[in-house]
Chain A
Amino acid sequence: MKRFLGFVVKEFYHIFRDYRTLLILFGLPAIQLLLFGFVITNEIKDARIAILDQSKDEVTRRISEKVLSSGYFILDKNLTSYKEIEQVFRQGNIRLVLVFGPDFSKNLDKTGNARVQIIGDASDPNTANILVNYLQGILSNYLISLNAEKIPMQIVPEVRMMYNGQMKGVYMFVPGLMAMLLMLISALMTSLSITKEKELGTMELLLVSPLKPIQIIIGKVFPYVFLAFIDACIIIILGNTVFGVPVVGSVGLLLLESFLYICMALSLGILISTITSSQQIAMMLSLVALMLPTILLSGFIFPVENMPWILQVFCHIMPPKYFITIIKSIMLQGNGFRYIALETGIMAGFTLFFIFLSVKKFKIRLA
């Protein structure tokens, strides 16, 4: 035990003396979270639009007012002819053009049928889609208020978005980032620190010492369990204080699940280090084989349900997917262990599998 402790102390020396490691360990989570939280967002505010009003009557003015006071749109320009539309889109700062046909209110009164056109800039399809939806919503709201007394029957849906009432993007990024960063720190850092000993030749001396392989491995990863755990806490706290992402469920359960996930990622890191002998290869493997699937195939950014079935199969063998499901379930829905028992079991299974493989693969000798 004393041997093991001596080993762990040495590991901490390595980590705390390398300011780059420290920066990655503690700077990265904060920076990533702030970046993802502030920069990548699906909500759109203050989109610049142009209006071509060919009737200029009271109704079109009222609709324009409603649109511009909604908070989503800012009037950039009033157009006078169709020709200008193409031109303003080309200038690039206009997202959408709203066109009212001639004799708008007259038509509305007489035939009950007035023409309005919405032209979006679909070079950015997601944004265009969202803006068009916003605008349609405003138009139909206006129509309903206009006809409130005339139409006897109407279906008014009352929409409520559960667990994320304001549809905040951050609610999605915090769990995803946690899965990504813990994977990065745990798997990458441990695989690097073990292969580093191989590269420097110090592994040769460790092997000749009476330390058992399992002691070497656990001694190597132990500090990272601790550090990754701190990172998990940083992410949860930052998410809560800066972005207001709540932890509805039990914090204790959340930390326990994070701990399990960290162990899983660490055992994966050990596995990588047992099959590689240089830091470079370990780094490539960790980044390409772990990071990309964690980002793309875990349901972090792209919903798993929309993928082709072959990719969905891959998604189901990506451990981060289960972790993201678990944290979303605890943080946002406030579920207890009962609801995430299956996912927890799968993660524990992954962990045991990786540990089993790495112990089998660990060499008690050189080459």
Chain B
Amino acid sequence: MPAIVVDHLAKHFSTVKALDDISFSVGKAELFGFIGPDGSGKTTLFRILTTLIVPDMGTATVNGLDVVKDYRKIRKDIGYMPGRFSLYADLSVEENLNFYATVFGTTVAENYELIRDIYSQIEPFKKRKAGKLSGGMKQKLALSCALIHKPSVLILDEPTTGVDAVSRLEFWEMLKRLKNNGITIVVATPYMDEASLCDRVALIQDGKLMAISTPSEVIKTYPWSLFSVKADDIFTLLNDLKSFPGVHTVFAFGQAAHVSFKERNMDEKLLSEYLLGKGHSGIKISPAEANIEDCFMELMIKT
């Protein structure tokens, strides 16, 4: 039985459709990612799954329990980390953890094994007030608090937003380990690079699911030929590329531009000469593998 089943779920706030007929399921011990821009409906979906709001239409179950009828039982089974830092800033690290442990009817000692990897990193600061922690440490504490009652399903709403790159990587390492412990994890993120770390990802925009697949499958569906183009002046490069005949899309991607062509057999030389003619220097053109971000951008254009 899947851990989460969502069937034709819809929710609107006054005139805004936050969720529009969404269906998917998440298997046991799966790391399931939701990728989408701000305001795409991720938080609304998560609040329905955590029984905090009621859907207008459709049903959702967590561990076979209905989110509307059996909300009390579900609340014991899930660990939730809201998008905003929601711990008590005036309590210390230790006090926050102890508080959530008692509220869920357990103790820190009882489930210490589960959180040891994460908590051990912030334990040296356990007397510090939670409000005075750095962004990465706050997230680790919030995760520890969400995990302290050994939930079978973990729901994380943008846990790495505002966290530095190294801490983000560490955080995802931890999620992998938790998943290996048999915990189902649903995580939302605005970072495309994190999507490839999930077992499956769902691309969501304007309350609609645009694709659900494994990251490699999503990439395979990319239809166009893609090139990575570099030049010294990246800003004019982007503009010049857009006016090159036959170009489908141009996106900045780190230090390079990703250019897609609907035509399969694109001649690199032609492009190179065109850019030289525009006065660019240090031109490097190479065929590129599509990544999740390219796929997402493509899906966004389609709709």
- Which 5 A-B residue pairings sit nearest by Cβ, starting from the closest? A6-B102, A201-B86, A366-B52, A201-B84, A209-B103
Can you list 25 A-B pairs with a CB-CB distance of less than 8 A?
A3-B105, A6-B98, A7-B102, A10-B95, A10-B99, A13-B88, A13-B90, A13-B95, A14-B91, A201-B82, A201-B85, A202-B86, A202-B87, A202-B88, A205-B86, A205-B145, A207-B52, A208-B51, A208-B78, A209-B75, A210-B72, A210-B76, A210-B105, A366-B47, A366-B52
Closest Cβ of chain A: how far from B192's Cβ, in Å?
Answer: 26
Proximity bits, B40-55, A CB within 8 Å = 1, else 0: 0000000100111110
Asked whether any CB of chain A lies closer than 8 Å to the CB of B119, the reply is no
Instruction: Give bound CA distance, A365 to B105, whole Å.
Output: 21
Is residue B71 within 8 Å, beta carbon to beta carbon, of the partner chain? yes
Check B253 for interface membership: any CB of A closer than 8 A.
no
Are B104 and A209 interface neighbours, CB within 8 A?
Answer: yes
Partner of A204, one of B76, B82, B90, B104: B82
Q: CA A208 – CA B98 in complex, angstroms?
A: 17
User: Quick check: B80 and A208 within 8 Å, CB to CB?
Assistant: yes
CA–CA, A3 and B145, complex, Å: 15
Check B50–A208 contact: CB distance below 8 A.
yes
Contacts A205-B80, A210-B75; A14 near B88 (Cβ below 8 A): yes
**Quick one: closest B residue to A200, CB to CB?**
B86
Given contacts A204-B52, A205-B87, A365-B71, 14 further A-B contacts (CB under 8 A): A2-B102, A3-B105, A7-B99, A9-B99, A14-B88, A17-B90, A200-B88, A201-B86, A205-B80, A207-B75, A209-B100, A210-B105, A211-B103, A365-B53
Q: Tell me what chain A mostly uses at the interface: helix, strand, loop, or mixed.
A: helix
Closest to A2 in B: B102
Give the Cβ gap from A217 to chain B, nearest Cβ, in Å.
14
Question: Contact flags (1/0) for A169-206 with B, using CB distance below 8 Å?
Answer: 00000000000000000000000000000001110111
Tell me, in angstroms, the Cα distance from A18 to B89 when the chains sit together: 12
Seen from chain B, the residues whose Cβ lies within 8 Å of a Cβ on chain A are: 47, 50-54, 71-72, 75-76, 78, 80, 82, 84-91, 95, 98-100, 102-105, 145
> In the assembly, what is the distance between CA of A208 and CA of B145, in Å?
12
Smallest CB gap from A5: residue in B: B102
A207 nearest CB neighbor, chain B only: B52
Closest to A6 in B: B102
Contact of A6 among B54, B85, B87, B99 (CB under 8 A): B99
B91 touches A10 (CB 8 A): yes
Cβ contacts under 8 Å, A209 to chain B: 75, 100, 103-104
**Per a CB cutoff under 8 Å, which of B78, B90, B98, B104 touches A18?**
B90
In Å, the complex CA distance between A207 and B47 comes to 11
Q: How far is the CB of A230 from chain B (nearest CB, A)?
A: 22
Could you tell me the distance in whole angstroms from the C-beta of A7 to the nearest C-beta in chain B? 7
Q: Evaluate contact between B53 and A366: CB separation under 8 angstroms.
A: yes
Question: Which residue of A is nearest B92, CB measured?
Answer: A13
Nearest A residue to B95, CB-CB: A13
Question: What is the distance, in angstroms, from B44's C-beta to the closest C-beta of chain A?
Answer: 10
A209 to B82 alpha-carbon distance, docked (Å): 13
The answer, yes or no, to whether A364 is at the interface (CB within 8 Å) is yes
Residues of B near A6 (CB, < 8 A) are 98-99, 102-103
Instruction: Give A10 to B103 CA distance when docked, in angstroms.
Output: 11
A310 at the interface (CB under 8 A from B): no
- A207 to B95: give the CA distance in the assembly, Å: 19
Which residue, of B47, B71, B86, B95, has the highest number of chain A Cβ atoms within 10 A?
B86
Chain B residue with Cβ nearest A13: B91
Closest CB in chain A relative to B142 CB, distance in Å = 9
Q: Is the CB of B86 within 8 A of A3?
A: no
CB distance from A11 to the nearest CB of B (A): 10
Contact between B53 and A367, CB atoms less than 8 A apart? yes
> With the chains together, A207 CA to B53 CA distance in Å?
11
| Residues in A whose Cβ lies below 8 Å from that of B89 | 200
Is the pair B102, A3 in contact by a Cβ cutoff of 8 Å? yes
List the B residue with the shortest CB-CB distance to A10.
Answer: B99
CA of A201 to CA of B47 in the docked complex: distance in angstroms? 13
* Closest beta carbon of chain A to B232's beta carbon, Å: 46
| B71 and A10 contacting across the interface, CB-CB below 8 Å | no
Report the separation of the CA atoms of residues A364 and B54 in the bound assembly, to the nearest whole angstrom.
11
Chain B residues, Cβ within 8 Å of A202: 86-88
Shortest CB-to-CB span from B278 to chain A, Å, is: 50
Q: Which residues on the B side are within 8 Å of A204 (C-beta)?
A: 52, 80, 82, 86
Q: Which of A200, A206, A210 has the most CB of B within 10 A?
A: A210
Q: Which of A204, A205, A364, A365 has the most CB of B within 10 A?
A: A205
Find chain A residues with CB under 8 A from B145 CB.
205
Residues on the B chain within 8 Å of A367, using CB: 53
B126 to chain A, nearest CB (A): 15
Q: Are B104 and A10 in contact (CB under 8 A)?
A: no
